[in-house]
Amino acid sequence: MSESTERVVIIGGGPGGYEAALVAAQLGAAVTVVDSDGIGGSAVLTDCVPSKTLIATAELMTDLAGAAELGLSFTDHEGDDAQSLHVDLARVNARVQQLAADQSVDIGRRLDREGVKVVRGRGRLDGAGDAGGVRRVAVTGDDGDQTLEADAVLIATGAAPRTLETARPDGERILTWEQVYDLTEVPRKLIVVGSGVTGAEFASAYLALGVDVTLVSSRDRVLPGEDADAARVLEDVLTRNGMEVLSQSRMESVTRDGDEVKVALTDGRTVTGSHCILALGSVPNTGGLGLEEAGVVTDEAGFVKVDRVSRTSARGVYAAGDCTGVLMLASVAAMQGRIAMWHFLGDAVRPLDQKMVSSNVFTAPEIATVGWSQKDVDEGDMQAEVVTLPLSGNARAKMQGIHDGFVKLFCRPGTGIVVGGVVVGPRASELIHPIAIAVTESLTADQLAQVFTVYPSISGSIAEAARRLHRV
């Protein structure tokens, strides 16, 4: 590996920033990360890590809800209630916040060990850079103002929850997803506005925790961006478990009236609850970064425009993660950041291919996807054969009391190469990996089918689906 003496300054310490810092340090660059709110970024402190920690508790509740079917009851031998289960949300949220803070400390220590300098403060590009390609980053920080010089700058400033004038969070009852961890009592009636991934995850988690949940969705169904069959299974499960899903219902305003929140819909109806979570999407943190003066082009929504190796329109300025709006996932932010550094520091680099990205919706059941989708096939963008195998026929699923979910595989008609897949079920996030390997490595359905799976296992359904795609 060639050593470098390049100076890299990274603005933003989330996965886009810190993963890039680790790669740049490994390649020998002198790296400084400027971060305003804590290493790990929103991913670790307010979004991904806290929500998945909350969902871990919700998952356990979902498992326990199925206990009776597997022969367990929460009674003593006389049949009296031995223990009734109740959610202590103050403890749950204290654990969530502690885990997130610890994770941030862990990442900070790792950066320190690798020789990355961390500066606490707000950074912005200072002008267009000089003729020799040196860029300047102005930092306003706890220890006063300073200017850092860099041979390359990575912008990884992330995004923030979108709010509306007519639906202003108050941090108590009208909440963004960043504010839910301050709750100390389980909401009496929760209204979740927005049925994208974030809205669906919170609605599903609180439902599992025993909360009365109404999900307000402006579309025909939940998760409009996901596989329609998968979304249908999820919506069935959620409504069967008591959630009210208001489809084609657009929120007009959210107001607070004492201990109540009122969500007014554009069709004149009003939904009343004790709390409301707003899941209205994200806006990029790209204001006040000096982008225009530095020659960095953004789109109409303010996202930084990048190519597949994370280059912006300005020489020596890269961008990664949510501020680019490419695919708003921690895994993608991290890969964009690494790609930027591999590219700048002359290491081998494979441009980002969104069709290789596995993603998961952490609802109960989970929905994991990779590669080309059913929509791509239906719209003729990809010619593929499709097999869908319900999990209800899987022996392990029967043993575990899993009734909902499926495995879906897409392969090219001529070559049999696997080009995509969907898994719906518990721990689908873990099950998508073999399909992701097949998609990334262009394996055929036959090759996937020939790999031994454990019997009995849910992953056996992946091999079985691949077998069904065999053509003679």
Distance CA 236, CA 397 (A): 18
Cβ nearer to ligand FAD, comparing 13 with 426: 13
**Count of alpha carbons within 13 Å of 211, Cβ hemisphere only?**
26
Do residues 121 and 142 touch, judged by C-beta distance below 8 A? yes
Smallest distance from ligand FAD to CB 122, Å: 4
Query: Residue 81 carries which DSSP code?
Result: B
d(CA 26, CA 160): 30
Distance in angstroms (rounded) separating the CA atoms of residues 2 and 15? 25
* Contact region with ligand FAD (CB under 6 A), list: 63-71, 270-278, 330-338, 342-350: 330-338
DSSP state of 303: P
CA contacts within 13 A on the Cβ side of 349: 20
**Residue 40, φ and ψ in degrees, nearest 5:** 105, -25
Nearer Cβ to ligand FAD (139/389): 139
Q: Which amino acid is at 471?
A: R
- The interface with ligand FAD within residues 222-251 (CB under 6 A) comprises none
Q: Candidates 123, 194, 371, 416: give the one binding ligand FAD (CB under 6 A).
A: 123
In the complex with ligand FAD, which residue's Cβ is closer, 16 or 371? 16
Gap between the Cα atoms of 20 and 332, Å rounded: 12
Nearer to ligand FAD among residue 195 and residue 400 (C-beta): 195
Contact between 89 and ligand FAD (CB under 6 A)?
A: no
Confirm or reject binding of residue 285 to ligand FAD (CB under 6 A). yes
Rounded to a whole number of angstroms, the minimum distance from the CB of residue 361 to ligand FAD is: 9
Residue 328, interface with ligand FAD (CB under 6 A)?
yes
| Binding status of residue 339 toward ligand FAD by CB under 6 A | no
284 binds ligand FAD (CB under 6 A): no
| 291 lies in the binding site for ligand FAD (CB under 6 A) | no
Q: How far is the CB of 324 from ligand FAD (least distance, A)?
A: 8
Q: Please, which of residues 354-373 interact with ligand FAD by CB under 6 A?
A: 362
Work out which of 8, 9, 10, 11 binds ligand FAD, going by CB under 6 A: 11
Beta carbons within 8 Å of 194's beta carbon, 6+ residues apart: 216, 217, 278, 279, 280, 281
Residue showing tokens 């520091």: 345
Q: Which is nearer to ligand FAD, 104 or 394 (CB)?
A: 104
Q: Which of 28, 266, 302 is nearest to 158 (CA)?
A: 302
H or E stretch at 115: none
User: Which one of residues 13, 194, 196, 405 is an interface residue with ligand FAD (CB under 6 A)?
Assistant: 13
Nearest to residue 20, comparing CAs of 6, 9, 5? 9
59 binds ligand FAD (CB under 6 A): no
Q: Are 216 and 263 in contact (CB under 8 A)?
A: yes
* Tokens read off for 19: 């993963």
Work out whether 331 is an interface residue with ligand FAD (CB under 6 A).
yes
Q: What is the biggest distance separating any 2 CA atoms in the chain, rounded to whole angstroms?
A: 84
36 is a site residue for ligand FAD (CB under 6 A): yes
Q: Which residues contact 318 (CB under 8 A, 6 or more apart)?
A: 152, 153, 154, 155, 306, 310, 311, 312, 340, 343, 344
Q: How far is the CB of 329 from ligand FAD (least distance, A)?
A: 4
Per CB under 6 A, the segment of 205-213, 250-258, 307-315, 317-325 that binds ligand FAD is 317-325
Which alpha helices (H) appear in 385-472, and where do they start and end? 395-400, 428-440, 445-450, 460-468
187 binds ligand FAD (CB under 6 A): no
Among 122, 162, 308, 427, interactor with ligand FAD by CB under 6 A: 122
**Binding of residue 15 to ligand FAD (CB under 6 A):** yes
35 makes contact with ligand FAD (CB under 6 A): yes
| Site map 131..170 versus ligand FAD, x via CB under 6 A | -------------------------xxx------------
Judged by the rule CB under 6 A, the positions of this chain that interact with ligand FAD are 11-17, 34-38, 41-43, 47-48, 51-52, 122-124, 156-158, 177, 198, 285, 289, 321-323, 328-331, 333, 362
